[in-house]
Amino acid sequence: MTYSHKDFTSQTLIERTDLNGQFIRGSCFSQQVPDSVIFPEGMTGVTFLNCNLENCVIPEGNTVIDCETRRYAVQNDGNGWEIDENNVPTTVVDYLHFFKTGKKMPNPADIPNKKVSERVNLRGD
């Protein structure tokens, strides 16, 4: 089975036995939960090129080239925020919008302590 140019969003591949040694280009494996284990234990020799691996744990012995590997989580404001190794929000996921438009970058300190019922529109559009 070829794994290139496919959408595996929110799927697990733990049961797959044909991944070792694969060259995978342009596929999406993104998960909603940070540090998701979706690949088989012991998977080795896989090269990921230009893939979306957000929130995925990549086992040692594999290569990641020009892939999206950020960790993020939806916060109490209903928006996705990149998180650090301690799961503390650092930067809003769509930060490029703020750079491109010159709008003030949202501050993680402004995330409410309690979950809101409706997502806060940080972009103002």
Instruction: Name the pairing type of β-strands 80-83 and 72-74.
Output: antiparallel
In this prediction, residues 12-23 reach a mean pLDDT of: 96
Binning pLDDT at 50, 70 and 90, where does residue 3 land? very high
Condensed to tens digits (0 to 9), the pLDDT of residues 38-91 reads: 999 999 999 999 999 999 999 999 999 999 999 999 999 999 999 999 999 999
